[in-house]
């Protein structure tokens, strides 16, 4: 049995209308001055920003704004936020949006609390020793950053997309109202569903031991997201399905579906981060391309787990393990395609040359600190093969 730590300090307020409790919540943490971090304007259009600023005004909480965070968020925006916070002695960060906005707030939190260049924490030169506190109002079910210990930032200059993991950045609270996700375009909803499933897959396809209870939770989560993702593709306003995937988003990446495993595989994520860093691909759409290519490459090295997944998550019957495992991979691809997600790079009009692939593989290997993966240890050559299979 593997040892594990399960730490989820985030207070979750889930359900319709919970944003109304924001003022009291901030008062309970004695917050008087904060920075609102948000993206390209969806929360302006939906009215959520006004709802929030009205509450802040009513509670006499002073606020500043950092807007314009882009998907695959950039280091330059993080540095802009750090300057605003330092100049104005801001004591709290309120992220309103999805993974990109939350991760930007997390990086600002590191940059304010720790001296020196914040990129050091993403390039693994140093480890953060603390962070400014963060609250979240979530508007997309996807990255799971609202409860995770992770933040992923792209360096504008080098195009390196790198993650920093530490418990310091786990949000203090997360307000989740599924209603806010109904304004999402279909491609973002579906890419989000893929990312949610993937966070559990990364923890499920391991070879170093698993707990039965964790497997049951993981399989239930994946079944739920496959089912409700399909419902949302047909009917984006189904609020019950929105709620199912929103809670799944948090549970899939807060550590729950990995308790008792060997630390997870995470190679689909590592390989995908190179793609979204280099080509600005939507993270979930990058995963729907990389995972099938990865799975076809490694499944024979972890046949029991691929068989179990196909049987218990997708309901595929049969006793020939290899056949069932292959059918499971094929069915997963079919579901992604039925959600209009790409399963090959060419579907996004991206055609990397062999040199581009070698560059991405080298960069991935470097970010992993050498060969990595639990289902199968991947070296440079394996990474090149997986990218090539994804063309
Ligand atoms: O910027 P706005 O105008 O808000 O539009 C966003 C953005 O264009 C839009 N959107 C969000 N909520 C909306 C909405 N549009 C209409 N209505 C709403 N309610 O959706 C677009 C994508 O937003 P983004 O925040 O990028 O999405 P997501 O949550 O998928 O985050 C992706 C980022 O998170 C990283 C990914 O690599 C990527 O950079 N990840 C972060 C993780 C973590 N911190 O734990 C783990 C993940 O594996 C992932 O790597
Ligand atoms: Zn992800």
The whole-angstrom separation of Cα 383 and Cα 367 is: 13
- Residue 254, ligand 1, Cβ within 6 A: no
Which run of H or E residues covers position 173?
strand 173-176
312 has pLDDT over 90: yes
Q: Are 182 and 237 in contact (CB under 8 A)?
A: yes
- Testing ligand 1's pocket by substitution, the residue of 37, 42, 191 carrying the most ligand atoms inside 8 A of its CB is 42
- Residue 332, ligand 1, Cβ within 6 A: no
- Residue 367, ligand 1, Cβ within 6 A: no
- Expressed in angstroms and rounded, the spacing between residue 142 Cα and the centre of ligand 1 is 7
- Residue 101, ligand 1, Cβ within 6 A: yes
What pLDDT, in 10s, does the model give residues 52-74? 999 999 999 999 999 999 999 99
Per the DSSP assignment, residues forming a β-bridge with 221 are: none
To 10 degrees, the CA torsion angle through 17, 21, 22, 26? Answer: -170
Atom 34, ligand 1: which residue's CA is nearest? 99
The whole-angstrom separation of Cα 96 and Cα 106 is: 12
Return the pLDDT at 67: 98
- Expressed in angstroms and rounded, the spacing between residue 391 Cα and the centre of ligand 2 is 20
Per the DSSP assignment, residues forming a β-bridge with 63 are: 34
Q: What is the mean pLDDT of the chain?
A: 97
- Expressed in angstroms and rounded, the spacing between residue 44 Cα and the centre of ligand 2 is 26
Return the pLDDT at 34: 98
338 has pLDDT over 90: yes
Atom 35, ligand 1: which residue's CA is nearest? 99
DSSP state of 229: H
- Residue 293, ligand 1, Cβ within 6 A: no
- Residue 144, ligand 1, Cβ within 6 A: yes
- Expressed in angstroms and rounded, the spacing between residue 316 Cα and the centre of ligand 1 is 32
- Residue 39, ligand 1, Cβ within 6 A: yes
Q: What SS3 string covers 329-390?
A: HHHHHHHHHHCCCCCCHHHHCCCCCHHHHHHHHHHHHHHHCCCECCCCCECHHHHHHHHHHC
- Expressed in angstroms and rounded, the spacing between residue 87 Cα and the centre of ligand 2 is 33
What pLDDT, in 10s, does the model give residues 159-216? 999 999 999 999 999 999 999 999 999 999 999 999 999 999 999 999 999 999 999 9
122 has pLDDT over 90: yes
- Residue 68, ligand 1, Cβ within 6 A: no
Q: What strands, in cross-sheet order, belong to the sheet with 11-14?
A: 11-14, 173-176, 134-138, 92-97, 33-37, 62-66
Per the DSSP assignment, residues forming a β-bridge with 175 are: 13, 137
- Expressed in angstroms and rounded, the spacing between residue 269 Cα and the centre of ligand 2 is 6
By the CB criterion, residues less than 5 angstroms from ion ligand 2 are 195
Read off the pLDDT band of 26 (50, 70, 90). very high
Nearest to 307 by CA among 337, 329, 332: 329
- Residue 82, ligand 1, Cβ within 6 A: no
- Testing ligand 1's pocket by substitution, the residue of 10, 36, 77, 100 carrying the most ligand atoms inside 8 A of its CB is 100
DSSP letters, 127-156, are -------EEEEE--SSS-TTT-SEEEEE-T
Which run of H or E residues covers position 57?
helix 48-58
Read off the pLDDT band of 1 (50, 70, 90). confident
Q: Are 49 and 139 in contact (CB under 8 A)?
A: no
Which pair of structure tokens corresponds to residue 25?
């919540």
Return the pLDDT at 236: 98
Query: Residues of the chain with pLDDT > 70: what percent?
Result: 100
Give the closest ligand to the alpha carbon of residue 195: 2
Nearest to 283 by CA among 142, 75, 174: 142
- Expressed in angstroms and rounded, the spacing between residue 55 Cα and the centre of ligand 2 is 32
Return the pLDDT at 179: 97
Ligand 1: which atom is nearest the Cα of residue 48? Answer: 19
- Residue 291, ligand 1, Cβ within 6 A: no
- Residue 40, ligand 1, Cβ within 6 A: yes
Chain CA centroid to CA 295, Å: 20
Mean pLDDT, to the nearest integer, of 137-155?
A: 98
Nearest to 7 by CA among 103, 150, 117, 148: 148
Which run of H or E residues covers position 97?
strand 92-97
DSSP state of 41: S
- Residue 178, ligand 1, Cβ within 6 A: no
- Residue 229, ligand 1, Cβ within 6 A: no
Report the largest interatomic distance among the alpha carbons of the chain, rounded to a whole angstrom.
66
2 has pLDDT over 90: yes
């Amino acid at each position: 049995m593997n040892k594990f730590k399960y730490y989820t300090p985030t207070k979750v307020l889930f359900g319709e209308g919970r944003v109304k409790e924001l003022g009291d919540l901030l008062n309970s943490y004695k917050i008087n001055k904060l920075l609102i971090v948000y993206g390209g304007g969806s929360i302006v259009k939906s009215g959520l920003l006004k709802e929030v600023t009205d509450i802040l005004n009513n509670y006499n909480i002073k606020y500043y704004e950092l807007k314009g965070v882009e998907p695959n968020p950039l280091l330059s925006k993080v540095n802009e936020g750090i300057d605003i916070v330092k100049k104005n002695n801001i004591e709290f960060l309120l992220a309103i949006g999805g993974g990109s906005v939350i991760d930007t707030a997390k990086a600002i939190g590191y940059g304010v609390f720790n001296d020196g260049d914040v990129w050091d924490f993403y390039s693994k030169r140093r480890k953060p020793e603390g962070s400014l506190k963060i609250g979240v109002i979530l508007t997309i079910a996807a990255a799971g950053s609202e409860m995770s210990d992770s933040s992923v930032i792209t360096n504008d200059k080098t195009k390196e997309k790198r993650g920093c993991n530490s418990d310091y950045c786990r949000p203090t609270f997360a307000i989740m109202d599924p209603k806010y996700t109904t304004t999402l375009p279909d491609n973002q909803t579906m890419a989000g569903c893929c990312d949610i499933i993937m966070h559990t897959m990364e923890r499920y396809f391991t070879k170093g031991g698993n707990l039965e209870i964790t497997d049951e939770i993981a399989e239930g989560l994946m079944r739920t997201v496959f089912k409700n993702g399909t419902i949302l593709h047909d009917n984006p306003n189904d609020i019950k399905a929105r709620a199912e995937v929103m809670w799944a988003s948090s549970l899939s990446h807060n550590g729950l579906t990995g308790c008792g495993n060997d630390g997870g595989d995470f190679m689909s994520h590592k390989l995908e981060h190179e793609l979204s860093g280099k080509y600005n691909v939507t993270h979930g759409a990058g995963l729907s391309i990389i995972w099938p290519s990865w799975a076809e490459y490694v499944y024979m090295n972890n046949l029991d787990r691929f068989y179990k997944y196909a049987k218990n998550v997708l309901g595929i019957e049969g006793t020939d393990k290899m056949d069932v495992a292959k059918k499971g991979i094929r069915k997963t691809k079919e579901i992604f395609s039925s959600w209009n997600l790409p399963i090959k790079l060419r579907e996004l009009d991206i055609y990397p040359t062999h040199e581009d692939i070698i560059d991405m593989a080298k960069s991935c290997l470097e970010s992993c600190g050498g060969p990595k993966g639990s289902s199968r240890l991947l070296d440079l050559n394996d990474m090149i093969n997986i990218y090539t299979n994804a063309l």
